[in-house]
C-alpha cells in the first residue's frame, strides 16, 4: 500500500503544485489520479519515487517512509512508465527491458531471458527483440515501456499517462491488455491520466484533483459517476454520467424474448415468412447474429438466398453478463427495435425491447442504497 500523508509540494516561486494530499493507494489495486492540467497529479506521482521531493509530509510504501531509502535504490524497486515511453534509443528492445535487472546486478543472460518472457507477456512477438525503439510503432514502444517497468518484478508501479500518445484504437487495445495483465499480476499501481473515461475504465479507485493540487474526491468509478461531491467533480466527470454509470450496473437475470432467425444461405422465401415487425434476424451456422434483414431487403435482394450484403449492420450486441449500458445501447441501436443478446461465445440468446431495458434500469434505481457499489469490479 502507498500512503500519502499530508504531502505538499511548493516550488521556489511560491507555486503550490500539491496541497496537503492525503491518499491511500491500496495493495494490488489500480489507483488513478485524474484532473485538469496543473492539478499536480504528475507531481504527486513523482513524489512516490522521489523524482520530486515533497516540501512537507511523507509518502509511505508498505509502512516505510520513502525519504529513508536512497533515491536510486528506491526507484529500482518501483516500475515506472511514462507517456513517451522514454526507451533508450541506443539499446535494443531486449536490452531496454533488461535495464533495471542489469542495474541491480543480475547477470546478462538471466536478465535477457527474463526480458524475452516479458516481451511475449505484453503481447509482442519475439522477432522484435533485436529491433531498436525507432523501429517500433508508438503502441509497440508503450508495450516495451510496460515490459521494462515489470522486468525487476516490482510490487509497485507508477504510470504517467502511459497510453495518451497513441491513437484511440491502439489505446483501447493497450488498456484492455493492461487490465488483463493486472488481473494476473496484482501490482499496486498509481496511474495518472487527464482522461476521465480512461480513469473510469481502468481505476479501482479514482482520486480527482483540482487545480492547485487539492484532492476533490476519492471514490470507486461507479460512485464517482453516481455521486460527485461538488460542481467541480460533476463538471469534470462530464455529461452522460447517468448513462455511463449504467456501465457499472451488471445485469443478473435477463427477461429476454425468443427471436425468430434465418441462417445465411437459406431461401429468401423462408426469410419473408419469418418477418416480425418488418425485420428478421440473420445468424450464421453457429447461431451467431450477423445482422438484420428488412422486408425491403428481402424483396430487392439480387439472389434467391440470404446473403451478407443484404444485411443491416446497425445494431450493437449485448452479452448476457454485460452491463445495463450495453443492453440499453443494443435495444436503442437495433433497426428492428429489438436489442440482440448473446452468450459469452457470441451465440444468440434472444432479444429485448427498449421498454424492458428501461424497466430494468428503473428497478435498479429503486433498489436500496449502496447498489452502485456492487458494480465496482466491472
Partner 1 sequence: MSNALTWLTDPVNWQDQLGTPGIPTQLGNHLAYSLAAVAIATVIAFPLGLLIGHTGRGTPVVTFANGLRALPTLGLLILLYVVVSPHISGRGDAPYLVPTEIVLVLLAIPPVLGNTCAGVQNVDPAVRDASVGMGMTGREVLFRVELPIALPLVLSGLRSAVLQVVATATVAAYVGLGGIGRYLYDGLAARDFAQMTGGAVLVAALALVLDGVLAGVQRYAVSPGVSGRFGTGPAQAGARVAEAAGKASVPA
Helices 138-150 and 108-121: angle between axes, nearest 10 degrees: 130
Nearer to partner 1, 154 or 315 (CB): 154
DSSP symbol at 356? H
CB-facing half-sphere around the CA of 361: CA atoms within 13 A:
21
Grid cell at residue 161:
499517462
Structural element, H or E, at residue 6 = strand 2-10
Question: What's the closest the beta carbon of residue 5 comes to partner 1, in angstroms?
Answer: 22
CA quadruple 104, 110, 115, 120: dihedral sign? negative
User: Measured from the CB atom, is 85 or 319 closer to partner 1?
Assistant: 85
Is the Cβ of residue 124 or residue 281 nearer to partner 1 in the bound state? 124
Rounded to a whole number of angstroms, the minimum distance from the CB of residue 155 to partner 1 is: 15
Complex with partner 1: residue 85 or 220, whichever CB lies closer = 85
Give the distance between the most distant pair of CA atoms in the chain.
80
Q: Report the C-alpha gap between 373 and 36 in whole angstroms.
A: 26
C-alpha 205: how far from chain center:
13
Taking the complex as a whole, the smallest distance from the CB of residue 7 to partner 1 amounts, in Å, to 18
Closer CB to partner 1, 62 or 167, in the complex: 167
Nearer to partner 1, 134 or 231 (CB): 134
Residue 10 or 131: the one with the smaller Cβ distance to partner 1 is: 131
**Cα dihedral sign for 347, 353, 359, 361?**
positive
**Cβ nearer to partner 1, comparing 115 with 327:** 115
CB of 161 to partner 1, least distance (A): 11
| Size of the chain in residues | 378
**102 CB-contact burial (10 Å; exposed 0-12 / middle 13-18 / buried 19+):** middle
CB of 196 vs partner 1, minimal distance in Å: 17
Q: Is the sign of the CA dihedral 133, 138, 139, 143 positive or negative?
A: positive
Pairwise CA distance, residues 275 & 91, whole Å = 63
Write down the least CB distance from residue 62 to partner 1, Å. 18
Provide the minimum distance between the beta carbon of 18 and partner 1 in the complex, in angstroms, as a whole number.
18
Q: In the complex, which residues of this chain contact partner 1 (CB under 8 A)?
A: 49, 51, 71-78, 80, 82-92, 99-100, 103, 131-141, 145, 148, 158, 165-167, 170
In angstroms, what is the minimal distance from the CB of 105 to partner 1? 12
Distance CA 209, CA 39 (A): 6
Amino acid at each position: 500500500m502507498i500512503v500519502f500523508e499530508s504531502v505538499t509540494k511548493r516550488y521556489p516561486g511560491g507555486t503550490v503544485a500539491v496541497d496537503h494530499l492525503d491518499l491511500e493507494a491500496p495493495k494490488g489495486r489500480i489507483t488513478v489520479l485524474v484532473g485538469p492540467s496543473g492539478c499536480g497529479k504528475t507531481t504527486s506521482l513523482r513524489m512516490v519515487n522521489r523524482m520530486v521531493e515533497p516540501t512537507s509530509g511523507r509518502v509511505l510504501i508498505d509502512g516505510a517512509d520513502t525519504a529513508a531509502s536512497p533515491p536510486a535504490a528506491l526507484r529500482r524497486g518501483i516500475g515506472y512508465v511514462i507517456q513517451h515511453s522514454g526507451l533508450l534509443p541506443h539499446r535494443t528492445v531486449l536490452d531496454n527491458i533488461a535495464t533495471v535487472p542489469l542495474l541491480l546486478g543480475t547477470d546478462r543472460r538471466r536478465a535477457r531471458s527474463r526480458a524475452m518472457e516479458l516481451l511475449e507477456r505484453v503481447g509482442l512477438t519475439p522477432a522484435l527483440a533485436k529491433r531498436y525503439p525507432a523501429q517500433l510503432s508508438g503502441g509497440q514502444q508503450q508495450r516495451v515501456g510496460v515490459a521494462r517497468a515489470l522486468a525487476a518484478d516490482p510490487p509497485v508501479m507508477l504510470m504517467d499517462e502511459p497510453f495518451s500518445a497513441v491513437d484511440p484504437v491502439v489505446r483501447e487495445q493497450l488498456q484492455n491488455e493492461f487490465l488483463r495483465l493486472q488481473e494476473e499480476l496484482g501490482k499496486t499501481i498509481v496511474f495518472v491520466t487527464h482522461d476521465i473515461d480512461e480513469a473510469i475504465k481502468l481505476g479501482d479507485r479514482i482520486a480527482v484533483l483540482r487545480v492547485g493540487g487539492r484532492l476533490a474526491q476519492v471514490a470507486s468509478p461507479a460512485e464517482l459517476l453516481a455521486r460527485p461531491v461538488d460542481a467541480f467533480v460533476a463538471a469534470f466527470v462530464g455529461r452522460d454520467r447517468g448513462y455511463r454509470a449504467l456501465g457499472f450496473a451488471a445485469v443478473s437475470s435477463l427477461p429476454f424474448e425468443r427471436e425468430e432467425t434465418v441462417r445465411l444461405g437459406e431461401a429468401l422465401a423462408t426469410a419473408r415468412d419469418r418477418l416480425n415487425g418488418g425485420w428478421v434476424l440473420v445468424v450464421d451456422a453457429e447461431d451467431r447474429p450477423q445482422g438484420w434483414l428488412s422486408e425491403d431487403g428481402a424483396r430487392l435482394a439480387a439472389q434467391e438466398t440470404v446473403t451478407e450484403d443484404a444485411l443491416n449492420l446497425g445494431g450493437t450486441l449485448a452479452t448476457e453478463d454485460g452491463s445495463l449500458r450495453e443492453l440499453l445501447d443494443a435495444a436503442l441501436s437495433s433497426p428492428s427495435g429489438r436489442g440482440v443478446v448473446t452468450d459469452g461465445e457470441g451465440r444468440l440468446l434472444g432479444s429485448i425491447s427498449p421498454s424492458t431495458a428501461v424497466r430494468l434500469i428503473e428497478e435498479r434505481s429503486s433498489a436500496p442504497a449502496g447498489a452502485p457499489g456492487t458494480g465496482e469490479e466491472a
